[in-house]
């Protein structure tokens, strides 16, 4: 401020005038009177300025219309969801920094973007520009750099294992399941024809996922050849992360005598449902004892066959549903009455084989916890879908699987917070991210012009317990 303008302002203040400010715009000086008001709805103070006039070196204050330069907005960026995802990332970020010092910034950025929406590599740079870089990482998101990163990360098994070991400490149980995706690339050696629920005979890559059902968090993921559906194949990977003292909860697709012997030979505890045609059903009967599971009546029986414990359950609601479906098949001619009669003794029944000698209700609850890993697979495949066509080699697949796993972890952490806050029935994880995206940061050059948090977002943040916004509004 030039000397004459400063002298004028000091003279006015000496006379007792309060709240005066002089601002220089385009070599001219303008006078404002500023005060602070309280916004009750938002529970914060806001500065309000009133324009008084132009300051002239000869005439002093010249009242009249305001002649000011326009303020040019240079960027409007989403900050709320960026802050939220950074908070969800905070417990695993140090491990990534140590394990992948050359690429962790790009891994962080791509995982954050894919947690928000499926993001091909060619879109990453543009989408990142819409987010506030809350850690000032300035990652290199050129598609060539990202391709290089995925191959390097995919080959760094030690770096991946370090994160998996960190996550494996969550809880005493681990759910293990397989899923798959398809690839037509001739360079992907992992892609082999195998079994899948869609009965599609295309080259596929199997995905093995370990999850902590108590925490609802993923623990490990591995890509396997498409023809492999055997728990023995991933045993080495599971051993890397430390599964001693854990209970593996498996799907009935793994059931078989060889699998049972494999687990028992390595002293691994397990909960494994038998197939409906298993002869083990004949060794245990359902009695009159019962319990309720989510308002469903469950009858049960328990027996020991000399090697393992057998738990047989009858879900009365499932029995009604399955019997109705069998009746429809008979009516449609897809099944004979004799075939239906042969199935009736096991309709609505579940047989669980385990090395654990526990109460039947506790074993049933362990088995039902595997529902969480199925939901996580659905989420994970959603993050993968956009890039199925460009996966060209095994290293890229390994890296892509791992980075998408990071996105899955962020969404699972957010779902965990929703569950703890009692909001899971109202919001999904991505719904919450969409709500937080409404908190924008507006800049003019390096100057922050505005950061307004909608009332609904502020209330949601309070209920989730993240407390991200008060610090920004102080």
- Per-residue pLDDT reduced to its tens digit, 375-391: 766 766 665 554 454 56
Contact in structure between 451 and 441 (CB atoms under 8 Å) = yes
Task: Transcribe 245-314 into DSSP letters.
Answer: T-EEE--GGG-SHHHHHHHHHTT-EEEEEPPTT-GGGGG----S-EEEETTEEEEEEEEE-SSSEEEEEE
Contact in structure between 185 and 391 (CB atoms under 8 Å) = yes
Of residues 65 and 461, which shows the higher confidence score?
461
Domain range list for the chain: 3-62
Q: Which of 138, 113, 83, 170 is nearest to 406 (CA)?
A: 113
Who contacts 376 (Cβ-Cβ below 8 Å, separation ≥6)? 209, 211, 218, 408, 412
CA–CA gap between residue 30 and residue 156 (Å, rounded): 61
Of residues 4 and 138, which shows the higher confidence score?
138
Who contacts 267 (Cβ-Cβ below 8 Å, separation ≥6)? none
Residue 152 burial (10 A CB sphere; 0-12, 13-18, 19+): middle
pLDDT tier, 355 (very low <50, low <70, confident <90, very high otherwise): very high
Q: What percent of the chain shows pLDDT beyond 70?
A: 80
Helix (H) or strand (E) holding 167: helix 157-167
- Per-residue pLDDT reduced to its tens digit, 229-281: 567 666 776 777 677 778 888 888 888 888 888 888 888 889 999 998 899 99
Task: Transcribe 395-437 into DSSP letters.
Answer: HHHHHHHHHHHHHHHHHHHHHHHHHHTT-TTT--HHHHHHHHT
343: its two tokens: 């199935």
CA–CA gap between residue 51 and residue 33 (Å, rounded): 7
- Classified as helix, coil or strand, 209 is strand
Who contacts 403 (Cβ-Cβ below 8 Å, separation ≥6)? 107, 110, 111, 114, 150, 153
pTM exceeds 0.85 for this model = no
178, HSE (Cβ side, Cα atoms, 13 Å):
24
CA–CA gap between residue 436 and residue 427 (Å, rounded): 12
pLDDT tier, 51 (very low <50, low <70, confident <90, very high otherwise): confident
Instruction: Give backbone dihedrals phi and psi of 119, rounded to 5 degrees, phi first.
Output: -135, 105
- Per-residue pLDDT reduced to its tens digit, 71-85: 565 678 899 999 999
CA–CA gap between residue 53 and residue 26 (Å, rounded): 15
| Mean pLDDT for the stretch of residues 423-435 | 92
CA–CA gap between residue 114 and residue 8 (Å, rounded): 57
- Per-residue pLDDT reduced to its tens digit, 194-239: 444 444 444 566 777 788 877 878 888 877 664 445 676 667 767 7
> What pLDDT, on the 0 to 100 scale, is given for residue 248?
87
Who contacts 385 (Cβ-Cβ below 8 Å, separation ≥6)? 118
């Amino acid at each position: 401020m030039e000397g004459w303008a400063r002298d004028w302002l000091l003279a006015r203040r000496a006379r007792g005038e309060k709240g005066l400010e002089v601002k220089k715009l385009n070599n001219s000086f303008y006078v404002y009177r500023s005060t602070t008001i309280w916004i009750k709805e938002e529970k914060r103070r806001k500065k309000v300025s009133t324009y008084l006039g132009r300051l002239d070196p000869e005439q002093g204050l010249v009242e009249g219309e305001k002649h000011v330069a326009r303020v040019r907005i240079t960027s409007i960026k989403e900050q709320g969801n960026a802050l939220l995802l950074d908070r969800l990332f905070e417990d695993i970020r140090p491990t990534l920094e140590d394990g992948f010092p050359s690429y962790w910034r790009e891994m962080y950025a791509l995982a954050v973007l894919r947690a928000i929406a499926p993001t091909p590599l060619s879109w990453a740079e543009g989408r990142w520009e819409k987010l506030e870089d809350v850690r000032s990482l300035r990652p290199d998101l050129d598609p060539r750099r990202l391709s290089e990163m995925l191959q390097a990360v995919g080959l760094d098994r030690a770096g991946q294992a370090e994160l998996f070991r960190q996550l494996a400490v969550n809880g005493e149980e681990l759910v293990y399941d397989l899923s798959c995706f398809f690839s037509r690339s001739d360079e992907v050696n992992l892609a082999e024809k195998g079994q899948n629920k869609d009965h599609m005979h295309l080259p596929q890559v199997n995905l093995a996922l370990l999850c902590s059902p108590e925490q609802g968090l993923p623990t490990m993921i591995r890509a396997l050849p498409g023809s492999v559906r055997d728990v023995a194949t991933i045993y080495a990977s599971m051993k890397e992360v430390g599964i001693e003292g854990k209970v593996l909860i498996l799907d009935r697709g793994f059931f078989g005598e060889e699998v049972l012997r494999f687990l028992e030979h390595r002293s691994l505890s397990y909960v494994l449902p038998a197939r409906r045609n298993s002869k083990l059903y004949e060794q245990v009967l359902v009695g009159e004892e019962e319990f309720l599971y989510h308002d469903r009546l469950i009858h049960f029986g328990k027996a020991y066959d000399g090697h393992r414990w057998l738990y047989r359950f009858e879900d009365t609601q499932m029995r009604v549903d399955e019997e109705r479906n069998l009746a429809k098949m008979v009516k449609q001619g897809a099944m004979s009455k004799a075939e239906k009669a042969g199935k009736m003794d096991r309709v609505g029944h579940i047989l669980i084989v385990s090395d654990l000698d526990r109460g039947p209700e506790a074993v049933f609850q362990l088995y039902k916890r595997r529902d969480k890993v199925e939901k996580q697979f659905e989420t994970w495949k959603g993050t993968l879908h956009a890039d199925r066509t460009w996966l060209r080699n095994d290293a890229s697949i390994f890296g892509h699987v791992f980075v998408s796993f990071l996105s899955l972890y962020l969404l699972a952490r957010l779902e965990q917070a929703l569950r703890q806050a009692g909001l899971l029935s109202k919001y999904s994880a991505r719904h919450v991210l969409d709500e937080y995206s409404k908190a924008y940061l507006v800049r003019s050059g390096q100057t922050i012009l505005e950061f307004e948090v909608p009332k609904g977002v502020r209330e949601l943040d309070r209920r989730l317990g993240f407390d991200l916004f008060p610090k920004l509004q102080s």
